[in-house]
Structure 1
């Protein structure tokens, strides 16, 4: 039935789940959720299923023969057993895989990714798998919601509508059609057509949630052989993803994006902010509760989502995002939903026009966000539409100096500064800090406004798509007095670990040091320094940290060599002195004649 195998098959939970009949698979996940790493007996299992059925009335807790379930799980290798030391007739059991870890899904997804790349290109393989994982996750959560409420006395139709709003719209009330994974899998129709239809309707029903780009997947589905698509469905169907915590699934989702980006070349890398950078930016901004956070170049959404998850209450934030690409908006929306982020609105548009950002803010009665974070494409050539607006772009802080349309770097900085009430962080190409002309004048303007708080230079090879060292520029509208007319410069040259020959990441202690230095405004020789506006002006408003922060070369002194050299000098001096005396005596003797 499967027709495909995985490496290290015996060691994976995935391979063992394949051996279970569907009824036992669901019961296995229920047992795993209840007992985890705890030991149990058959009597414990009987009590668990009986009590849960009495409490909930849910038929999934009905089981005729617990002993049969234990036998099936034991034969599959999913539980281990030993004799009770106090009663040799009784067995004690324990799960082999006691935790719901998304890492257990890693082998599965990357196996499917490699399997798909035989038939599809890298980008389409990634798109399809991310969408299928999203679809399976949200469908399982939808059905879990239904199971939880179906004995509440509320009409089934009303529960479906409630699940639509609480989880995702996977029920079409107009056509009274279920669009969940389970309904698609159980359909007797052509699997490609059934799945394509489901995605088209889900996209239509969830346009306001940014899922319009799901229609892009339809063409990919039709490219696949039905047998191969069936294999993917059968493998993912082994897991009930409603049991996995949203943070766990979300982290796994982003890890998969991080890894597949390395296959996708420059474009795919620019689409994604690296993991080290996401962690650092999350901690630098330190978002307050009940804040509005905007990313005007949202890409995969990973940066914005991790910033939210780093806050104390992600559910109390409003996340806003804009991107020119329809698929980027949908990918970011899927990323947010699997991560359990409920309050987001992402839309298609060119943020550099200003109006898409303002329209999005206006939807919530706002003119600015509390925080803005953006990792935009470097040296982006602006669109003709943006160039046509020119000096009338609404967010310009320096209308007298328009940067070259061949590089939008300082448009992004001004946009972030203008639309943020508290703080903004922008990832830049290092060249943006020292270029002359209009860009120099814009730097001068922002420095005179005293809103540039810090500039952080990071090591080379931190990004997947370039070896150039990235810069973080921090704007702070609530800048502390200690930095009045000053800028904190941080130059990070050490504290890294290699991932590969072309890629590094920051060590945790390095991130800790950057954040600690930033929050305490500490000066550390060779690492950080507070630079006055006057000194910046003397250097032509160059904001490159390496110009102001560097390690002084300290050479070790070889004492023996030094003493030897001194001895030679003294001996030479003594020799010269003797020669001088002899010469003086000869001169004196000649004069006396």
Structure 2
């Protein structure tokens, strides 16, 4: 028999989950699967539970309103199920409590629910219907884990959880499993690095933000949240967000991430950006106010011959072709080509782009065209898949006059704290982020931290952008009071002599 909750109280204590409560549930879920099961199954169950609970509260609100309008109870029930009252077409048979009613058929019910939701809701196609719980539970151990996960998520309702809180929970899962997935080659950009980049670029309502290597959507979500915090949610909805991701599984996670955060005005496409960019206009690339990314570092297989097989290569790789062993400068050139004539680009990339010989020709041309505004050396051990420090490069296609033929170098190698959870890793704390962002905004010299360097000096250094050539952290030196120190040393020496005299006396008595 189908179940439907008719007496939902969104203001009740059970309906209001805090961030810590959500994370507590997800921590228990993480403990259940450990490293034996792909963490994506936690995310899909979280997403499905949210959709189900939200449909129920939408139903309840529409039902109550129909009764107030004078409809009989049965008429109100029929009315409250109409699609216009709901974000998604969600058949009753797939509501959470109905799915878990027959434990033995749980894998089949979940798989059917996800497949049907993908068919009924075009914006969920290739998002929820990519997970096969039947195949997942072929092992007896996994079947038991699935039952435990479903019961864990059944303990509380997720309908009255704010998108920010639930979104933070979703991000917590990605963050929690990042060290393990890094060993398998997955790239996870620490959210504090993303926050720094977005803080620097400072997008505003009605502007566009594009991430050509969008992963799980962290850059775009951070841009949305930045505008939301500065201007309010209504203005954040006026931000135009675009992303492209090559991996279909990762793209599905990204779309779920957007739904969980209740970010609807976003376009996400699947495809190989370096060869087949999806965003086009007037038979060329679509242009954006901001282009941001943490592309795969030193990606192989994108030499000249490969890139010339792609679309718009003449308009994108105008400064030359990278080595086949590292696509870093291919990514950067695509990003610069995708920016408006007054646009900015922010890229998190390997330090090698700053000084390696194979990138010198492209580096020189970009510098001579006065596109690079700022180079930021990050602390080491921020990233899960490498101990290398990494760099943020900021390109400005419309530099103000006072910045022309100059580059700001920021050495933020000492701006970190120990990671609170992962040994041997570091994080950027809020004060670190603010200090770096202030230095970028100020565009001025600060001893041992930031320096505005004229292009002529960079030419003299053979277009080497290694930050430590231009800014080196100050070494703290302790002022020593020589006279005082000398007196202290003399006193120590006297004590030693006295002790030796007394010891010698004891030895003489013994002999």
TM-score normalised according to structure 2 size:
0.82
Report the Cα offset of residue 26 of structure 1.
5.2
In structure 2, what is the equivalent of residue 371 of structure 1?
290
> Could you tell me how far apart the structure 1 residues matched to 2:135 and 2:113 are?
14
1:382 and 2:301 matched: yes
- Aligned pairs, number: 461
Map Cα deviations across residues 103-142 of structure 1 (whole Å, 9 max, x no partner): 112222222222234xx734x2x01001100111122122
Report the Cα offset of residue 31 of structure 1.
2.5
Map Cα deviations across residues 148-182 of structure 1 (whole Å, 9 max, x no partner): 22334689478532245xx23434xxxxx754334
> Could you tell me how far apart the structure 1 residues matched to 2:191 and 2:136 are?
30
Check the 8 A contact 2:418/2:427 in 1, yes or no.
yes
> Could you tell me how far apart the structure 2 residues matched to 1:102 and 1:457 are?
33
Q: How does 1:317-336 map to 2 (within 5 A)?
A: 317-336=239-258
> Could you tell me how far apart the structure 1 residues matched to 2:411 and 2:223 are?
23
> Could you tell me how far apart the structure 2 residues matched to 1:163 and 1:469 are?
49
In structure 2, what is the equivalent of residue 345 of structure 1?
267
> Could you tell me how far apart the structure 2 residues matched to 1:234 and 1:554 are?
56
> Could you tell me how far apart the structure 2 residues matched to 1:148 and 1:391 are?
50
Structure-2 change in CA distance of 1:390 and 1:30 (3 Å): closer
Map Cα deviations across residues 59-83 of structure 1 (whole Å, 9 max, x no partner): xxxxxxxxxxxxxxxxxxxxxxxxx
Check the 8 A contact 2:347/2:392 in 1, yes or no.
yes
1:455 and 2:371 matched: no
Report the Cα offset of residue 536 of structure 1.
1.0
Map Cα deviations across residues 460-508 of structure 1 (whole Å, 9 max, x no partner): 0011111100100011223222211111110112232111432111122
> Could you tell me how far apart the structure 1 residues matched to 2:261 and 2:209 are?
17
> Could you tell me how far apart the structure 1 residues matched to 2:243 and 2:159 are?
27
Map Cα deviations across residues 82-110 of structure 1 (whole Å, 9 max, x no partner): xxxxxxxxxxxxxxxxx631211222222
In structure 1, what is the equivalent of residue 347 of structure 2?
426
> Could you tell me how far apart the structure 2 residues matched to 1:543 and 1:501 are?
31
1:32 and 2:13 matched: yes
1:135 and 2:56 matched: no
> Could you tell me how far apart the structure 2 residues matched to 1:224 and 1:395 are?
51
TM-score normalised according to structure 1 size:
0.71
The equivalent position to 2:334 in structure 1, one of 408, 412, 415, is 415
Report the Cα offset of residue 374 of structure 1.
0.5
In structure 2, what is the equivalent of residue 91 of structure 1?
none
Map Cα deviations across residues 21-42 of structure 1 (whole Å, 9 max, x no partner): x989955x642289xxxxxxxx
Report the Cα offset of residue 563 of structure 1.
12
1:287 and 2:203 matched: yes
Greater shift, 213-222 or 129-138, is seen at 213-222
> In structure 1, the residue corresponding to 2:169 is in which secondary structure?
helix
> Could you tell me how far apart the structure 1 residues matched to 2:437 and 2:270 are?
33
1:161 and 2:83 matched: yes
In structure 2, what is the equivalent of residue 503 of structure 1?
425
In structure 2, what is the equivalent of residue 273 of structure 1?
189
Structure-2 change in CA distance of 1:373 and 1:180 (3 Å): farther
1:468 and 2:449 matched: no
Check the 8 A contact 1:324/1:349 in 2, yes or no.
yes
> In structure 2, the residue corresponding to 1:321 is in which secondary structure?
strand
Report the Cα offset of residue 188 of structure 1.
8.2
In structure 2, the gaps of 5 or more residues are: 70-75, 229-234, 487-511
In structure 1, the gaps of 5 or more residues are: 1-21, 35-98, 172-176, 565-593
